[in-house]
A and B are shown apart, each in its own frame.
Chain A
Amino acid sequence: MLKTVTELLPRQAVILELESRDKKEVIRELAAPLVQTGLVTNEEEFLTAILRRENLESTGVGLGVAIPHARTDSVTTTLLAFGRSGPGVDFSSLDGKLSHLIFLIAAPEAAKREYISTLAKLSSLMRRDEVRIGLNKAKNVDDVYAVLEQNDHS
């Protein structure tokens, strides 16, 4: 059974106001709490894997959303981080818009199925107006979880 989004998202990996404005720095900022969980075995390798994908792909999926992601053995399980940026961050979205809602996904190399399914579920969720509006309005971590739980039917 595929885990829900909130099951993959540690509470400390929800950042309601990202400080960074630059894509690489935002990825570092989102990765930091995941490293603290102890589920990232090699921080530099983890960041390199995420940034390598960024060089080949635009992980800005449009509608103000970006989902940087990677499969790497520097994580022991599939993990999510979520951050919100008021001013927005340039993730080279095809629609030309800055990203305000950013999810970072990392999964072990062997967990391809869960990785693809999580990416697909999150991408689908984030196309829904009510989810984006809810996440933009969330005042605290509980609100973020409530929006995701309400809309994630896996």
Chain B
Amino acid sequence: MLERILLIVEDTPGLPAAAAWTLQLARALSARVFAVCVIPERTGGRSRTSTNVEERAWSLLYEVEDDAFAMNVKVSLLLEQGDPLRRLCEICTSYKTGLLVAGVGSQVPLADLVRHSPEPVVFVNSPKED
């Protein structure tokens, strides 16, 4: 049984659909969602821009958390820095997640994710606008 699902949280138009799909699946399976946002490694010191990027990342994570709470789904939030592909694969392994979910417009190329992920990857398409 799938007990842990990793959701990639990024500031993309695909996030709402990916998050909704993940939370519905998690609710159906009583699984825990690991909502993970990886900020690419910054060069140089902390700046106003990097603080804003970090705050935006936390906002996205807490939005997911709030939706999860409303659906009675267990969720853990992670904000990481580094190479997104590498960090995501490491988190899959260290938290023993069984499925990785990404939305449209992910900063990590689909082909790379599928090739390197230690677990199955689901890409969730956003509904087409009329």
A residues near B (Cβ < 8 Å) are: 53, 56-58, 61, 71, 94, 112, 116-117, 119-121, 123-124, 127-128, 153
Q: Tell which of A117, A121, A123 touches B79, judged by Cβ atoms closer than 8 Å.
A: A123
Give complex CA distance A56, B70 in Å: 11
Q: Which residues of A contact B78 (CB under 8 A)?
A: 94
Closest to A122 in B: B58
Q: Tell which of B51, B55, B58, B74 touches A57, judged by Cβ atoms closer than 8 Å.
A: B74
Q: Tell which of A94, A112, A153 touches B48, judged by Cβ atoms closer than 8 Å.
A: A153
Main SS class of interface, B: helix
Give complex CA distance A128, B81 in Å: 13
Q: Which residues of A contact B95 (CB under 8 A)?
A: 94
Answer whether A56 and B48 are a contact pair too, CB < 8 Å, given A119-B58, A120-B58: no
B residues near A (Cβ < 8 Å) are: 46, 48, 51, 54-59, 61-63, 65-66, 68-69, 72-79, 95
Closest to B75 in A: A57
Give complex CA distance A125, B79 in Å: 13
Structural contact, A57 and B65, CB atoms closer than 8 A: yes
Structural contact, A124 and B77, CB atoms closer than 8 A: no
Main SS class of interface, A: helix
| Least CB distance, B95 to chain A, in whole angstroms | 8
Q: Tell which of B56, B58, B66 touches A112, judged by Cβ atoms closer than 8 Å.
A: B66
Answer whether A116 and B63 are a contact pair too, CB < 8 Å, given A53-B69, A56-B74, A57-B76: yes
Q: Which residues of A contact B46 (CB under 8 A)?
A: 128
Q: Which residues of A contact B63 (CB under 8 A)?
A: 116
Structural contact, B69 and A57, CB atoms closer than 8 A: yes
| Least CB distance, A71 to chain B, in whole angstroms | 8
Closest to B56 in A: A120
Closest to B52 in A: A124
In the A-B complex, list the 3 residue pairs whose CB atoms are closest, starting with the nearest: A120-B58, A120-B59, A124-B54
Q: Beyond the given A56-B68, A57-B69, please list 12 additional residue pairs across the A-B interface where CB-CB is below 8 A.
A: A57-B68, A57-B75, A57-B76, A71-B66, A94-B95, A116-B59, A116-B62, A116-B63, A117-B59, A123-B58, A123-B62, A153-B48
Q: Which residues of A contact B79 (CB under 8 A)?
A: 123, 127
Closest to A58 in B: B76
| Least CB distance, B3 to chain A, in whole angstroms | 15
| Least CB distance, B92 to chain A, in whole angstroms | 14
Q: Which residues of A contact B62 (CB under 8 A)?
A: 116, 119-120, 123
Closest to A120 in B: B58
24 contacts between A and B (CB under 8 A): A53-B69, A56-B73, A56-B74, A56-B75, A57-B68, A57-B75, A58-B76, A61-B77, A94-B78, A116-B59, A116-B62, A116-B66, A117-B55, A117-B59, A119-B59, A119-B62, A120-B55, A120-B58, A120-B62, A121-B55, A123-B58, A124-B55, A127-B54, A153-B48
